[in-house]
Amino acid sequence: MTPGDLRARVLILAALLAVGFGSLTGRLAWLQVVKRAELAQLAERQYSRTVVLHAQRGPILDRQGTPLATSTPTESLFVQPRSVGDPERVTARLAPILGLPPGEVHAALTSSRSFVWLRRKLPPAVAGQVRALREPGLGLLPEPLRLYPNRELAAQVVGFEGVEGGLEGIERAFDDELAGTPGKAIVGRDALGREVTAPHVLEAPQPGHGVMLTIDRTIQYVAERELDAAYRRTGAKSGMTVVLDPRTGEVLAIAIRPTFNPNVFLAAPSRDSWRNRAVTDPFEPGSTFKVILAAAALDEGVVRPNDLIYGENGSFTIAKTTIHDWKKYGWMTFGEVLQNSSNVGSIKVGLVLGRDRYYRYMSAFGFGAATGVGLPGESRGLLRAPGRWSLLSLPTMSIGQEVSVTALQLVAAFGAVANGGTLMRPRIVRTTFDAEGRELRRFEPEPVRQVISPVTARTLTRMLVRAVEAGTGHNAAITGYAVAGKTGTAQKLDPATRRYSRAPGVLSFVGWAPADEPRFVMLVILDEPKGASWGSEVAAPVFGAVGREILRYLDVVPRDGQPMQIVTGPSPQLPASGVTAPVRLVGADVAVDANGGRVMPDLTGRMLRSALAALAPLHLTVEIRGQGRVVQQAPRPGAPLRPGLTARLILAPGARGSASRAAPPREVSDVRGSASRAAPPGEANDVSGSASRAAPPGEVRDVSGSASRAAPSREASDVIR
């Protein structure tokens, strides 16, 4: 080898080394500079993992602050199949602990996915057993468990939570508020994929907001207890009880049968039991709808309580269809038509009222439109425009057929009559609040419209009181209290014949108490009960039983009861050990002056229970005289309070605050579009709206206005035949 050859080889070798070193340097630069971020993420995924920390869901409370839904911390089990050593061995150890089929566990352990949830929200004992296995690829993450401490109580109202959030009821309607904001954490792992360090929290989860309902747990319990007894006793297909405060529109109870336990909602025999039938399932109301007809007819002046109507001895033919009464009636006053629930008498009044005016009032009472209560799946019911009516529509709608309503629509409409003619929008949520109990949003009572005049409402109330005292609603009577209400017995269409079946259909009762100062309006429905044919037999007794308990619970003094003399405000006490204390919101209604000192609130116009609730946080001794609403108080509103002070309240029946003052009689501009005055005595508006003179005593005018069969003479009364 010559020196030249050696030099050439050295140069070639040097060149190769330079190229190799340059390539290595370039590769390192590519990996460490250009691909640095991507490779760092890959390394992080290999030796650590970002996990989601689920937020604690906000509580759902009743109006007194008692939890209806709450959350407790648990752990959920996941598996990373690529890190599992021996799937067969792990399956044999894990399946008995979880109580799952071995095939299901093995499929998860051998999945092609990198992350699989195996079982969510484990009981603490099960989570401890899984942790003790110390198997690679298995991991536990904290996750709150939703609990419903009252089990079936108000199940359809509260709803339930699934894996992806609220699925029914309030849980679904207010899912955004209740859910909160999830957080993030990094969990370190060793080469076998086992978690070796505590999670490092990147973003802490933010708990959800709470929701306080208008539901009262005590009233809800009583309603469910009595409804369940009737449902089981009669073997009914289903049943409902809805209780509402007509003054505010607040829903106090919604009881539904059949029901379910939201803690184990998948165990329900049928998913139909999840549904809140009070807002989702419309039905034909039957005779209870005659109250809507009566309200319209009285308000329009086409009939008066003492006007005579001929009952045609129990049958009436119109549009080639004969409609029967449950009993043969001759001459009746309009008050007796409602009291006896006469179909013939109601149809005749409906024909005089006319379809356009009747439709206007039905719409004004809220039928054919959603109530806006905010619950999922609410139905509008069915109310067709007059242009789509047949010749038989007006007669059948006059007795509650050919129109469908929801339970909430019907109880809200009756609430309008009880509330002096003012329809209130139903509410089921009072307020939302944050984790510290600070109120975020309050839902105030919302008047929708003045449907009928206060004079008409009072007249109709007296007629409905008579219907309970001496008519079909006698089983709904409550000793010591005046009850206004109406029974209903609605037939159902037979799918085979397309005609109304004679079998028992929807049996119901709707009413309120006390009649003159209503504290609640209630609807009771039993669908296809066995061994019963009338709403007065099965629904009215439930109303009476529930109403009696409600009035006692609300401290409503009976008509013949002795007035309460002295009440001492309770001192705050700590709950007993192991008892969940009701949640109290920050910023209760306690009046303060500019310096933050407590002052006497204005109690004028409040009922006794409301006044005592406002005074309870002040821990005063209270002396009470009379019964009804507060008309005088001492100290005066705004006066500073000092320790040991005694508050004195004077109550009187029928007194109301200025906010609820009656509208001028017979002026209902919201319904008609313009004020319409009542027809003078002896006149009634016909279908066209023109005034027609009443027939003289001994003579009857039929629907067309022609003279017909003689009616008994009755002073100051019109007659309709």
Residue 348's H or E segment, with its range, is helix 343-353
Alpha helices by DSSP H, listed for 30-123, are: 36-47, 87-98, 102-109
CB 352 within 8 A of CB 686: yes
- Report the C-alpha gap between 574 and 585 in whole angstroms: 16
CB 278 within 8 A of CB 240: yes
Residue 500's H or E segment, with its range, is strand 499-500
Q: From residue 48, how far is each of 41, 117, 134, 185, 190 by CA, in Å? A: 10, 18, 18, 10, 8
CB 153 within 8 A of CB 131: no
Query: For residue 681, is the peptide bond before it cis, meaning its omega torsion is within 30 degrees of 0?
Result: no
**Angle (nearest 5°) at CA 255 between 284 and 460:** 50
Is residue 507 packed enough to be buried (19+ CB in 10 Å), middle (13-18) or exposed (0-12)?
Answer: buried
Q: Is 287 a catalytic residue?
A: yes
CA–centroid distance for 425 within its chain: 12
CB 234 within 8 A of CB 504: no
Residue in 238, 287, 508, 717 annotated catalytic: 287
DSSP 31: I
Query: For residue 73, is the peptide bond before it cis, meaning its omega torsion is within 30 degrees of 0?
Result: no
283: amino acid identity, one letter: F
Angle in degrees, 0-180, between the axes of helices 454-470 and 290-300, rounded to the nearest 10: 140
Residues forming a β-bridge with 509: 487, 524
45: amino acid identity, one letter: R
Strands 566-568 and 621-625: antiparallel
CB 602 within 8 A of CB 456: no
**Angle (nearest 5°) at CA 643 between 640 and 649:** 65
Question: 523-539 burial string, b = 16+ CB within 10 Å, else e?
Answer: bbbbbbbeebebbbbbb
CB 57 within 8 A of CB 167: no
Q: Which residues are catalytic?
A: 287
